[in-house]
Amino acid sequence: MKEQLEKIKSLAHEELDKCESLDVLENLRVKFLGKKGELTGILKQMGGLSAEERPVIGQLANKVRSDIEENISARMQALKSELAKKQLEAETLDVTMPGTKQKIGKLHPLTATLNDIKEVFLGMGFEIAEGPEVETDHYCFEALNMPKHHPARDTQDTFYINDNVVLRTQTSSVQIRTMENKKPPIRIISPGRVYRSDTVDATHSPLFHQIEGLVVDKGITMADLNGTLELLMKRIYGEDCQIRLRPHHFPYTEPSAEVDMMCFNCHGAGCPLCKNEGYIELLGAGMVHPKVLEGCGIDPEVYSGFAFGIGLERITMGRYKIGDMRLLYENDMRFLGQF
């Protein structure tokens, strides 16, 4: 019986040493120490021992039991800490790993330029006015002193919805809508889409954007127009930007002017960029025609005003040195991401 106990002890040692999981460990505990286990089996036979032998074997059996118990609990500790270590390793957070980069959007160059232009005018006390893109003949042409035979009213240039309704070809229509609804002093800009029956190329698009400006008050002169536009252009193109007003004709202004900016490339000397002009054309402007004021119920003897129409694409292209207008509409992120 003594040998049997020693054998159980060494067998338990051997198997516990090899044990690699908590489940197997539990099975071993049952096998050696359980009610139907090997040690219990031996103890059951103790009834057949002599009175001298019984305490000796009993003592030995208890020793073997506590030995195996100790062994089991030591193995359990080892397995548990190994398990915890493995789990920690699997869940490790590498704080030095670079994060997932969020793509942050940007304003489209047209939007950015428009925002800057709005900012300049809001700073000068202008309000922002809106008008419809589907416009009547009256607001788009007639009230702007462009009678029926005017060449701009040709179907070659204008999208007609019907005889009386067009897609507006210019934001100048908002001048009329404003003056019909509001009495001077008037100080507005009106940005928006305009449409012309043009074929797409590097400088043309059937849809583009204008920003109309209108100021009507007592004593407004060409000098106010000049000063306002000069300030705008310096803010947009930089303080050394110089503009000039060149005589022109628009039916709704008298006198009328085209406004040019000194070429930023050659500073007026003439180069391929400005086609040897030394200046680059920016926009149309003038003093509001007395007939237009009168048509809107404003007395031209009392009030005067100036107006201008800026092409947003042209200003943006000049500002960012973009050579082809189509790039602004293609929504290619490789292009747009540069600004």
Of positions 71, 113, 158, 170, contacts ligand DAH by CB under 6 A? 170
What sign for the dihedral angle of Cα 60, 64, 69, 70?
A: positive
Considering only 39-47, 62-70, 232-240, 305-313, which stretch makes contact with ligand DAH by CB under 6 A?
A: 305-313
Give the start-end residues of each E strand in 81-195.
Answer: 127-128, 134-136, 160-162, 165-167, 186-195
Shortest distance (Å) from residue 250 CB to ligand DAH: 4
Which segment (42-50, 261-269, 278-286, 322-330) binds ligand DAH by CB under 6 A?
A: 278-286
Q: Is the dihedral of CA 176, 184, 282, 106 positive or negative?
A: negative
Residues β-bridged to residue 189:
128, 213
The first and second tokens of residue 108, run together, are: 């489209």
- Let me know: does 284 contact 210? Beta carbons within 8 Å: no
Is residue 172 at the binding interface for ligand DAH, with CB under 6 A as the rule?
yes
Select from 331, 252, 334 the least CA-distant residue to 295: 252
Q: Of 292, 307, 315, 328, which lies in the binding site for ligand DAH, with binding defined by CB under 6 A?
A: 307
Does residue 25 touch ligand DAH according to CB under 6 A?
no
Stretch that binds ligand DAH, among 78-86, 88-96, 281-289, 314-322 (CB under 6 A): 281-289
Work out the burial of residue 173: count CB atoms within 10 Å of its CB; fewer than 13 is exposed, 13-18 middle, 19 or more buried.
buried
In this complex, which beta carbon is closest to ligand DAH, that of residue 37 or of residue 192?
Answer: 192
**Using the rule CB under 6 A, is 191 a contact of ligand DAH?**
no
Closest distance of CB 181 from ligand DAH, Å = 18
Is 253 an interacting residue with respect to ligand DAH (CB under 6 A)? yes
Number of residues that bind ligand DAH (CB under 6 A): 11
The residues, any chain, with a CB within 8 Å of residue 60's CB and separated by 6 or more, are: 2, 5
Among 195, 237, 279, 308, binds ligand DAH (CB under 6 A): 308
